[in-house]
């Protein structure tokens, strides 16, 4: 499941591929990034993403790897597409077809079985043909997959000073699931928003790599912004506890990044250097995510087309 899944044409995407962006998208991202509140809001986003999971289940290990994340993302899409847009029933075979060459049918089935074991997915019989089983995402999975989404929208709320904000409504799994469905519709039509950012892909493709990157970025903002949240401890053991992985895995991820010259963690396990290229890439990636998800958060909720529960 370490390969990158392409949700556009069922082949593997190459990092660096540019999606088709709607008119005004990059201008809107640049405007957000120009706000004085952009970096403080992004610092709080990083702190929240890198916070320890609220359960003993290996939640981060389950979802925080790009291939597994995209399988769950597409499972949510298929269910809401069936429920609200009259799409094909959200069966395992439909999910395997949507993932295509990005992962073998066996791997997708195995991951879905793990999701069922963790009560993140329920298999429900088709009322018209009980031989068919629909894959229904549990609220806990929608919340886990949409966690970064909601936090990006909360960051826009903070940047633009919105009271009330849009993120509060996304605490409702149904609304969050609809947003994820719309996001996947965009990705299927236009390409992913992550693959132009090769360093982000590098971290996201590894187990718990993205929240580890968020911890590093949070440490950078903690030492450069006066009102940023305090930095997370960057020792192997502390990060391993937060991310539910082994200290050796954390050491490998940090060592690879340091060898590439992306950052340096020095004495006292404190961040002492972050390269300008990684900082610029992360901030552009974040601005793109903010624009994408914030725009989807205001779409009206449709009526259920198939009466699914």
Higher pLDDT, 11 or 296: 296
pLDDT at residue 13, rounded to an integer: 39
pLDDT in tens, 100-144: 766 788 899 999 999 999 899 999 987 777 778 999 999 999 999
Residue 57 has pLDDT above 90, yes or no: no
Nearest-5° Cα angle at 295, 209 to 34: 70
Residue 176 has pLDDT above 60, yes or no: yes
- What average pLDDT does the segment 83-101 reach? 90
Q: Which two three-digit tokens encode residue 223?
A: 């030492």
pLDDT in tens, 281-297: 999 999 999 999 999 99
pLDDT at residue 300, rounded to an integer: 77
pLDDT at residue 250, rounded to an integer: 96
pLDDT at residue 307, rounded to an integer: 46
Q: Which two three-digit tokens encode residue 56?
A: 């003993």
pLDDT at residue 62, rounded to an integer: 75
pLDDT band, residue 210 (cuts 50/70/90): very high
- What average pLDDT does the segment 257-261 reach? 97
pLDDT at residue 134, rounded to an integer: 94
Phi-psi region of 52 (alpha: psi -120 to 50; beta: other; left: phi over 0): beta
Higher pLDDT, 35 or 309: 35
Q: What span, in angstroms and rounded, lies between the C-alpha atoms of 115 and 258?
A: 34
pLDDT at residue 9, rounded to an integer: 34
- Ranking 28-37, 118-127, 168-177, 198-207 by mean pLDDT, the lowest is 118-127
The pairing of beta strand 129-137 with beta strand 263-265: unpaired
pLDDT band, residue 305 (cuts 50/70/90): low
Paired with 260 in beta bridges are none
For the chain, what percent of residues have pLDDT higher than 70? 88
pLDDT at residue 3, rounded to an integer: 35
pLDDT at residue 302, rounded to an integer: 75
Q: What span, in angstroms and rounded, lies between the C-alpha atoms of 98 and 129?
A: 22
pLDDT at residue 99, rounded to an integer: 86
Residue 173 has pLDDT above 50, yes or no: yes
Q: Which two three-digit tokens encode residue 178?
A: 């609809």
Residue 226 has pLDDT above 90, yes or no: yes
pLDDT at residue 7, rounded to an integer: 35
pLDDT at residue 5, rounded to an integer: 36
Asked if 198 and 278 count as a contact pair (C-beta separation under 8 A), the reply is no
Asked if 139 and 122 count as a contact pair (C-beta separation under 8 A), the reply is no
Residue 221 has pLDDT above 70, yes or no: yes
pLDDT band, residue 55 (cuts 50/70/90): low
Task: Kindly report the backbone phi and psi dihedral angles of residue 244, in degrees, each rounded to the nearest multiple of 5, phi listed first.
Answer: 60, 45
Q: What is the DSSP string of 64-114?
A: -SHHHHHHHHHHHHHHHHHHHH--S---HHHHHHHHGGGS-HHHHHHHHHH
Residue 16 has pLDDT above 70, yes or no: no
CA proximity to 178, closest of 151, 211, 150, 204:
150
């Amino acid at each position: 499941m370490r390969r990158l899944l392409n949700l556009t044409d069922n082949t593997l995407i190459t990092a660096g591929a540019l999606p088709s962006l709607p008119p005004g998208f990059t201008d809107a991202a640049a405007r957000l990034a120009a706000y004085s509140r952009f970096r403080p809001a992004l610092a709080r986003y990083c702190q929240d993403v890198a916070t320890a999971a609220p359960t003993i289940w290996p939640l981060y290990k389950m979802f925080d790897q790009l291939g597994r994340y995209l399988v769950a993302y597409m499972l949510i899409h298929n269910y809401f597409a069936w429920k609200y847009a009259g799409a094909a029933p959200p069966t395992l075979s439909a999910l395997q077809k949507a993932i295509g060459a990005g992962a073998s049918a066996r791997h997708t089935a195995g991951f879905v079985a793990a999701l069922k074991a963790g009560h993140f997915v329920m298999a429900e019989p088709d009322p018209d043909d009980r031989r068919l089983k629909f894959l229904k995402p549990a609220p806990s999975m929608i919340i886990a997959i949409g966690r970064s989404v909601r936090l990006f929208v909360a960051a826009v709320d903070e940047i633009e000073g919105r009271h009330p904000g849009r993120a509060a409504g996304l605490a409702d799994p149904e609304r969050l699931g609809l947003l994820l469905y719309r996001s996947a519709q965009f990705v299927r039509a236009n390409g992913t928003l992550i693959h132009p950012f090769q360093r982000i892909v590098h971290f996201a493709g590894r187990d718990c790599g993205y929240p580890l990157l968020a911890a590093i970025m949070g440490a950078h903002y903690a030492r450069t912004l006066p009102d940023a949240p305090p930095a997370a401890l960057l020792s192997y053991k502390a990060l391993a506890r937060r991310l539910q992985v082994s200290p050796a895995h954390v050491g490998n991820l940090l060592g690879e990044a340091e060898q590439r010259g992306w950052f340096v963690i020095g004495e006292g396990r404190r961040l002492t250097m972050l390269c300008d290229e990684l900082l610029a890439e992360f901030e552009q990636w974040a601005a793109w995510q903010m624009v994408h998800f914030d725009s989807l958060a205001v779409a009206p909720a449709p009526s259920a087309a198939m009466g699914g529960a």
